Structure 1
Amino acid sequence: MSPATRPDNSGDDARRRRLHALAGVTVHGSDGKTVGRVRDVYLHDATDELAAITVTPRQLSARSVLLPASAIAALPEVPEDPGPPRAEAKNPTADSPTAAAADDQATEQGGDHVLHLLVDAATAKAGVHPPATLHATPQGLQEAAAALHLEEGSAHV
């Protein structure tokens, strides 16, 4: 199909940009505790709808978990142009309680966007590892949902 006859998909592009802007957003469990930050965003190939995210508990951590879209209670309102990156905390160790408190304080002051889950932080952190190929299969998403004790057909965002 030529560009002149292609239907207007600017809404799709805006939604895709909004979903990709989730990278780096803080993730909280249903208990209000911090799970980590979004590292990757997975979209369904056919529909470009959100399929899953991976969350890294700490900035320098190699461990991450795959969280299917069915685990997400609410997406944050992310502006289309997030602007310059937020200044990093002055504490050099991102794992320290002081750095975590700085992240929580920034969140409370509206300096950060928060994604809320339907499961508590401990359950989310115990989820399955993301696939090595950066492509989540339907079976992988089902396994991730089962690890979080989500029922089949749970509400999606």
Structure 2
Amino acid sequence: MRVAELLKKKGSTVVTLPATASVSTLLETLDDHKIGAVVVVDDSTTEEGGTGTVVGIVSERDVVHHLRGGTDTEVELSALMTSEVRTCSLEDEVQDLAVTMTEHRHRHVPVVQDGTLHGIISIGDVVKARLDALEAERDHLESYLRQ
């Protein structure tokens, strides 16, 4: 299965914030959307949910590490985001993405094609796709054996 097929099933909505947003805004956004990471986009896209150029990603883990140091919640996301973002494309195989996510311990990978943000894949999405594939295979085998 390719990433494009997975996005068709799960949807392509991505919550984004500009790098100038504060940590407190990030916390509200994570809680409001019940998500674990936000894609950080260039400041030319100032509204939540925009699709500017990906400049970073920030997760719950980043926030915990940041706040553990006793740092202010009004600090901009640019101070704690991961700026070397590992992305995938629409043509990538989900199985290959699973290996990459596991090896590099990434729980969220933005989908970028030709510089445009198309979605985000979480490790949960990958696991669900794999379970769905195994269930379909099992059903096919059971059907074959009943014939």
TM-score, normalised to structure 2's length?
0.25
- Which has a greater percent of helix? 2
Q: Which structure has the larger Rg?
A: 2
**RCO higher in structure (CA 8 A, sep ≥6):** 1
